[in-house]
Structure 1
Amino acid sequence: MQTIAERLETAHAEIASATAKSHRPSNSVKLLAVSKTKPVSDIIAAYEAGQRLFGENYVQEGVDKVQELSHLSDIEWHMIGPIQSNKTKIVAEHFHWVQSVSREKIARRLNDQRPAHLPPLNVCIQLNIDDEQSKSGINKEEFGYLAQLIEGLPRLVLRGIMAIPKANPSTQEQQATLSALKEIFDQYHTSLSNFDTLSVGMSNDMQEAIYHGSTMVRIGTAIFGQRNNTTS
């Protein structure tokens, strides 16, 4: 059975291979280790293997881990799950990034509740690129308005787009979705100075996502193993 360190090494090798095949710079894709439902001991094992970026889906679980590992000051914590308005304060106080912003109300609350002693909160707009009713995220038509609004909030920095494409698409559907994401990303990457992140791609679609310009892939099971059941 592989260790977390060995799985991380494999994931980085796969990212490097896909990046090279896409004729992109070797350091142009970051690995976000998705640690939801996993114990702190697993995060420490990944940290000791060199991993620094961790993603959490559940607010209270994530905050508990941030607090328990606060002595590891160089960890970068990303909230990648949906946020209810009554949870924005603890998210704004504990996380470095929020990738799942898709409502004006949430953006404004994160801005207003970000502590003054911390740097501005990095955020991505979650885009429901395939217009799936079962998924969170803003649609393409509303993206420009929310981007403009976030740009005007002083305690937030708009860093890019996060998306979860349709599961099990055909090759044509996958390419169309990823191409559409890349087109939107390129448009704002050109016009906004801090807009540098396209967070798309997981274990099953990582290579195609990197080919279509992803700058951050979110990998969980391939690093930490099958998820534990949770009610968080």
Structure 2
Amino acid sequence: MDTFRVMRQDDNGNRFPVADGLARDEAERLAAEFEARGHKQLYWVEPTARPMEATGSVGGIGAAADGQDATALGDPADPGATGASGTANRIVVGGALIHGGRVLAARRSAPAEVAGRWEFPGGKAEPGETEPQALERELLEELGVRARALQRLPGAWLVRPGLELRLWVAELLSGEPRPLEDHDELRWLGPGELADVDWIDHDRAVLPDLARLLDPARQSPA
């Protein structure tokens, strides 16, 4: 039986497989579901046997920072720690978006248990995406900005069974952040203002590392 895959293309022409080995009707249903979510990329269905075109980054979005290769900035073959069920956790990436010596905080509007608290925006990595690619896509979808992932912050958190959060530093390349999805307010915070909002716990854990990045004078003496 012929099998099909769902493909996605972002605004820069980068192509990624979203799901593979599906029956045609299942693949078409999945592509339609992604479209209905309002994502800003193109989705389509193609036969699995069709050769994959080389994927890659164009310009700043998805590009590795400071000459690092894609493996150093998140390998899609690294799905995260294994959960209790024996299956790999799905990765959620959050982005500490930095610009002008400040970092962007976003206030959650839902779900109810975290509404009103602050976080670093982001979302789930799709199959085939590296963590930087997923973060740059999510910041475009959630905030309407183009950004570049720079480095991963220490730590990882199991936000619920099967979902592992990893936080990254990213730099703003273009655009003015707007709360387009899941947030109702944004604030730029300097190194001395990081404690001014009520952070979700796992985001709060990386504030000391962020403070040192925003203000080199806070670095511990050698």
For normalisation by structure 2, the TM-score amounts to 0.27
Higher CA-based Rg = 2
For normalisation by structure 1, the TM-score amounts to 0.26
